[in-house]
Structure 1
Amino acid sequence: MSDTERHPLFMPLILVGGLIFGFGLGFSHMARPEVVLDFLQFEDFGLVFVMFGGAIVTGIVYFLAPRLLGEPLLTKRRFERRLKPFDKNVIIGGSIFGVGWGLSGICPGAAYASLGVGNVTILWALAGMFVGAYAQGLVRSRIDAGDAATTSAD
């Protein structure tokens, strides 16, 4: 299903969900890097409760939505699990993400919420995220181009 075939409320509901998520991060103080760093140093366990609350809501929705709705109301796609293979890229990418999270004290979603609570210095972390994502895209496109050239030469 293309973007033009989606329900007209799809994008506004994404915006509302993001606003609720950002407000929740700000309200719980998880948009403040020092709070996250305290969690990573085992000094403040508030983040566990925030993550646990999100996991409970997500679990309930993933369990009940297919049974109650039959199909998603906004996208009309089938409910299904989309599994990504657990490979070296997941381990390497997760490790790099974890190091960045530990150094900056913030993950991408919370970084945007951190701007909303007045943390302007987080722009350095956001710039790093954009540059890192761009660099990964360049590396991936070169690897894919090299694989395609090797395959066509065979």
Structure 2
Amino acid sequence: MKFLKYFFTGIFFGIVLVKSEAVSWYRIFEMFKFQSFHMYGIIGSAVFLGILGLLIVKKNEVKDINGYKIQLPPKDMGFARYLIGGSLFGLGWALAGACPGPMFVLLGTGVLSMLLVILGAVLGTFLYGLLRGKLPH
């Protein structure tokens, strides 16, 4: 039963992304060329809601699906690591025309070329797992 709840939440999320044009390559292209506020508004709303959600989780000591208190470990603040990581993420986003969530939404809408992007993301994650111990953290 829990699976169905998450399944339908994912479908709803996909519908919202498609209807808001957040998965549109043209909207993403406009964003990277600073020609439209549309995507910045969506991303800004998501950041605001994420901050609000985290504040609620911290204040009310919310529990996860298994009944354990949600623990939020402190982040290691290093400017270079976030600059490099964000730049790589943005480069991949610009080249693929989609970030991780919308990749699956686009596949669901029939954009079969997203299979290559998903394969690349899985391969990159696998390689990171292999090299993680050798990378500076």
- Shorter-chain TM-score bucket reads 0.7 to 0.9
Q: Which residue of 2 aligns with 1:140?
A: 132
- Give, in whole Å, the separation in 1 of the partners of 2:81 and 2:93: 18
TM-score (norm 1): 0.70
Q: 2:64 touches 2:70 (CA, 8 Å); kept in 1?
A: no
Please list, as runs of the form range in 1=range in 2, the aligned pairs for 1:1-150 lying within 5 A after superposition.
9=2, 11-67=3-59, 70-72=61-63, 74-87=65-78, 88-141=80-133, 143=134
- Give, in whole Å, the separation in 1 of the partners of 2:70 and 2:31: 35
For structure 1, the 5+ residue unaligned runs are 1-7, 145-154
- Give, in whole Å, the separation in 1 of the partners of 2:126 and 2:115: 16
Deviations 1:54-92 (A, max 9, x none): 23333333333554x543262322244332313454443
Which letter does structure 2 place at the counterpart of 1:14? Y
Pairwise CA distance, 1:117? 2.1
Q: 1:31 touches 1:117 (CA, 8 Å); kept in 2?
A: no
Name whichever of 112-121 and 81-90 sits farther off.
Answer: 81-90
Instruction: Give me the CA root mean square deviation.
Output: 2.6
- Give, in whole Å, the separation in 1 of the partners of 2:90 and 2:101: 14
- Give, in whole Å, the separation in 1 of the partners of 2:35 and 2:88: 23
- Give, in whole Å, the separation in 2 of the partners of 1:34 and 1:125: 18
Deviations 1:7-28 (A, max 9, x none): x73x444333322222211111
Structure with the greater alpha carbon radius of gyration = 1
Q: 1:116 to 1:83 in 2, by over 3 A?
A: same
SS at match of 1:75: coil
Which letter does structure 1 place at the counterpart of 2:122? F
- Give, in whole Å, the separation in 2 of the partners of 1:57 and 1:96: 25
Identity %: 22
- Give, in whole Å, the separation in 1 of the partners of 2:74 and 2:68: 16
